[in-house]
Amino acid sequence: MAKQDRAIRTRRAILEAAAIVFDEKGYRAAKLSDILERAKLTKGALYFHFTSKEALANAVLDAQVSETPVPSPQTYKMQEYVDMGLLFAHLLVSDPLLRASVRLSLEQVPEINRSSPYVEWVERNTRVLTEAKECGELLLHVDPAETARITVGAFGGMNAMVSTITPPLDLEREILTLYRHLLAGIAVPSVLLRLDVRPDRGAQVLAEAVLEPAAVTPGVDIA
Amino acid sequence: MAKQDRAIRTRRAILEAAAIVFDEKGYRAAKLSDILERAKLTKGALYFHFTSKEALANAVLDAQVSETPVPSPQTYKMQEYVDMGLLFAHLLVSDPLLRASVRLSLEQVPEINRSSPYVEWVERNTRVLTEAKECGELLLHVDPAETARITVGAFGGMNAMVSTITPPLDLEREILTLYRHLLAGIAVPSVLLRLDVRPDRGAQVLAEAVLEPAAVTPGVDIA
C-alpha cells in the first residue's frame, strides 16, 4: 500500500472512531484517549492528522456533506431535490460518521463550526430548487433559498425528534412524510404526479448514486 | 405576602435562573452554584424546591408547554393550529425559560426527560388538527397525528438552525415561512384564503391569549 493511501485510511479510521465516541458521549465528555483506544492508534498517529479534539469535531462536521454521495441526475429536478433528502435519511440510519456529525451540529459548543453543514446543505438545496424553478417545475411564488432553508431546518428537527422520542420513530418514514408535506405547496401538479416518493426510494437512490461531491457554486446567499 | 405565594415566586426565580445558566453553558457545564448565585438564594432554599440538577432541568423542560399560553379560540381551527406555533415562536425570541427548555431538549443527556415537551406539543397539535379535520378544514388525505409530528419536529429544527447559522436568522419570520409551506398541502383552499399569517400575528395572538393550559386529552398516540 502506498504511503498516501495508508494516510487516507488512517485518517478515515480516526474520523470513524471519533464519530462513534462523539455520538455516544457528546463533544464535551468525549476524550481523545477514548478515540485513540477505539481507533487502535498512538497519540503520534492521531496528532499527525488532527491537532486537537476541536479539529477532529470540525472534520466530522465537514464529513456530513462531503461524505454523502450525490444522487444521479433525473428527468425532473424536483426528483433530485427529494432524492438528496431521502438518500441522506437512508444513510443516517446506519452511518455512525453522519450520525455523529448531525449530533455535533446540535451541540452547544462555541469552539466548533456547527453552522457549516447547515450552510452547505442549504446551498445544495438552493441550487437544485433554482434549477427546478428555471425548468418550470415550481409554483410561481416559490423562493428557492427560502424553501431550501425550510427543508434543511425541518430535516434536522425531524432527525432530532425521531431519536429523542421513546420508542424512537422510523427516520426514513418521517422524512418521506416531511417531503410529502412540503412538495404539495411548492411543485406544480404535473410534476407532483411524476415524483417517486415510495418508502424504498432512499435505498434505490444510494444504489444509483455517484460518489463525487457536487461542484460548489460560490456565493449562494442563504439568508 | 402569604407563605404559599412566596414559595411560588421563589420556585419561579430558581427556574428562571436555572434556565439562563442552562442556556448559556448547556446542561453538563451548568453548576448548581452558578444557579444559586444568579437567583441570589441559599442552597437550602434551592433544595426545598428541587432535589438535584436533574430535577431542575426536568422542571425547565416541563415549563416549555405549561408556561406557554393557549391561543384564544378562532372561527377556523386551522387558525388555532397556526396561532399555537406563531405564539411559541414569538415567545421564544425573548423568554429565557422557554429558550433554555428548547435548548435542553436537544442535548445528549440521558438522565433528563427530553421527550416530554415533544410528546406534549405533538398531542396539542394532534388535538387541534383532529378538530380541524372534523370541521372539514383539512384535505382528505391528511392524518392529524402525522402532520402534528412534522409540525413539531420541523419547528424544533428551524429553531436550532436559526440560532446556529451566522448571522442568526429571524426565528419568527422563518417559522411563518414554515407554516406557509405546510399549510398549502394540508388545508382546503377556502380555509387557506381566510388564515391570518401576517408577520405580526404572533404578537397579536399573545395579546389575546389566555394563561390556563389546555385540558389534556389522555392517550393521544403520537407514533
Question: At B19, which CATH number?
Answer: 1.10.10.60
Q: Do B74 and B147 have their domain in common?
A: yes
Q: Do B151 and B196 have their domain in common?
A: yes
Range with the poorest average pLDDT among A98-107, A200-209, B78-87:
A98-107
| Local confidence band at B195 (pLDDT 50, 70, 90 cut-offs) | very high
Q: Closest chain B residue to A28 measured between Cα atoms?
A: B28
Residues of A within 8 A of B180 (CB-CB) are 185
Using CA atoms, how far residue B193 sits from A110, A192, B75, B190, in Å, is 43, 22, 13, 5
* Percentage of residues of chain B with pLDDT beyond 90: 63
Cα B190 versus chain centre, distance: 29
Residues of A within 8 A of B177 (CB-CB) are 146, 149-150
Q: Do B21 and B86 have their domain in common?
A: no
User: Which DSSP string do the residues of A50-86 spell out, in sequence order?
Assistant: -SSHHHHHHHHHHHHHHTSPBPPP-SSHHHHHHHHHH
Residue in B107, B147, B153 nearest the CB of A157: B153
* Percentage of residues of chain A with pLDDT beyond 90: 63
Cβ of B106 within 8 Å of Cβ of A150? The answer is no
Q: How far apart are CA A66 and CA A219, in angstroms?
A: 18
Q: Do A91 and A122 have their domain in common?
A: yes
> Cell match 428551524: residue?
B158
Q: Is the peptide bond before B167 cis (omega within 30 degrees of 0)?
A: yes
Q: Do B57 and B129 have their domain in common?
A: no
pLDDT (mean) for A83-92: 96
Q: Pull the grid cell for residue A2.
A: 502506498
Range with the poorest average pLDDT among A27-41, A138-152, A167-181:
A27-41
| Local confidence band at A28 (pLDDT 50, 70, 90 cut-offs) | confident
| Local confidence band at B41 (pLDDT 50, 70, 90 cut-offs) | confident
pLDDT (mean) for A27-41: 89
* Contact yes or no for A86/A179 (Cβ under 8 A): yes
User: Within 13 A of A188's CA, how many CA atoms are on the CB side?
Assistant: 13
Residue B61 in this model has a pLDDT that exceeds 90: yes
Q: Do A149 and A77 have their domain in common?
A: yes
Q: Closest chain A residue to B22 measured between Cα atoms?
A: A108
The ipTM assigned to this model is 0.88
Q: Closest chain B residue to A108 measured between Cα atoms?
A: B26
What's the pLDDT at A220? 45
Q: Do A70 and A59 have their domain in common?
A: no
What's the pLDDT at A1? 56
What's the pLDDT at B26? 83
Q: Pull the grid cell for residue A80.
A: 433530485
Which residue, among A81, A109, A161, would best test binding to B if mutated, counting the most B CBs under 10 Å from its CB?
A: A161
B223 found inside a domain:
no
A213 found inside a domain:
no
| Local confidence band at B45 (pLDDT 50, 70, 90 cut-offs) | confident
A212 found inside a domain:
no
A222 found inside a domain:
no
Number of structural domains (chain A) is 2
A90 found inside a domain:
yes
What's the pLDDT at B153? 97
Q: Pull the grid cell for residue B80.
A: 388555532
- Beta-bridge partner residues of A138: A187
Residues of B within 8 A of A158 (CB-CB) are 149-150, 153-154, 157
Domain hosting residue B81, numbered range: 65-208
Q: Closest chain A residue to B154 measured between Cα atoms?
A: A154
Residue in A106, A107, A149 nearest the CB of B174: A149
What's the pLDDT at B218? 43
> Would residue A215 be called left, alpha or beta, if left means φ above 0 and alpha means ψ between -120 and 50 degrees?
beta
What's the pLDDT at A211? 56
Cβ of B150 within 8 Å of Cβ of A26? The answer is no
CATH number at A98 reads 1.10.357.10
- Is the pLDDT higher at A215 or at B85? B85
Q: Do B196 and B105 have their domain in common?
A: yes
| C-alpha distance from A41 to closest chain B C-alpha (Å) | 27
Q: How far apart are CA B53 and CA B37, in angstroms?
A: 15
